[in-house]
Amino acid sequence: MPIFDSKAPPNKNQALLVSVMEFYHGVPLAPRRGVKKDTKRLHKILSKLGFQVTIHNDLTAEEIRHVFKTASLEMGGTCFVGVLSSHGEEGLVFGADGNAVRLAEIFSWFGGPGTSETTKLFFVQACRGKELDDGVELQADSVSVSEEDSFSPCFSIPIDSAVMFATAPGYGAFLHPLGSVFLQTLCDLLEEEGGRSLEVTQLMTRLNYHVAHNFEAKGRELGGKKEMPCFVTRLTRQVFPFADRLKEPLPL
């Protein structure tokens, strides 16, 4: 369970990056090439933006639950960013042991009274269905699960939180050996002064636009296919988590 960076001081914004690239022997899930590219770039950019970044790779389902629950109890600063990247289905992501983690369970931990002053942002790189199959040059982060295990996590998103998914319900999310189009585009925007200075819902809208209009899958089977991220927000104020640290949240 690799962990990088120590516990953040109480007043420092925090980011938790959880990615699964390799699955246990016997688990029928393909390795996810490109995950390390996403993690490395996110770590570099978020650190420069003042976040204390913690990285966990190839955790089991139970370990994923543990690190997010622990993070919900130890949050500091004005913003928490959680990134979760794995194979998945609607409402679920999978640990390295092949067991499922319900996103609703993760989100629910961030609704306690101790988190009320902190903006919570989640970015989920995982498929939400089987609409797209594996391609030649690109890989889809999907796997089949039973219908009763698939449900929308949106009802569990706490107040003053926003969740952005790499793709719409029922569809696959693409992963390239050079990284996922979703997280790499997020990094592109955060490296641009005009992107990181945006209010967070404007940033997410711009991310939607860039992925929807600039990405097109290649390969014999998936050539021409597109990806459309989407986000759900329960924010009650405007926030600028990646901009000048002196900028305060504005009332709506």
Task: Indicate which residues carry an active-site annotation.
Answer: 87, 127
Q: Are strands 174-176 and 179-180 parallel, antiparallel or unpaired?
A: antiparallel
Helix (H, G, I), strand (E, B) or coil at 164: strand
Look-up of token digits 């940033």: 203
Q: Classify residue 25 by burial, with Cβ atoms within 10 Å: 0-12, 13-18, 19+.
A: exposed
Helix (H, G, I), strand (E, B) or coil at 62: helix
| Beta bridge partner(s), residue 85 | 19, 125
Q: Which two tokens stand for residue 125?
A: 């790189």
Look-up of token digits 């639950």: 65
CA-wise closest residue to 164 among 102, 116, 118, 233? 233
Q: Which two tokens stand for residue 148?
A: 């009763």
CA-wise closest residue to 96 among 17, 2, 21, 40? 21
HEC secondary structure over 97-129 = CCCEEEHHHHHHHHHCHHHCCCEEEEEEECCCC
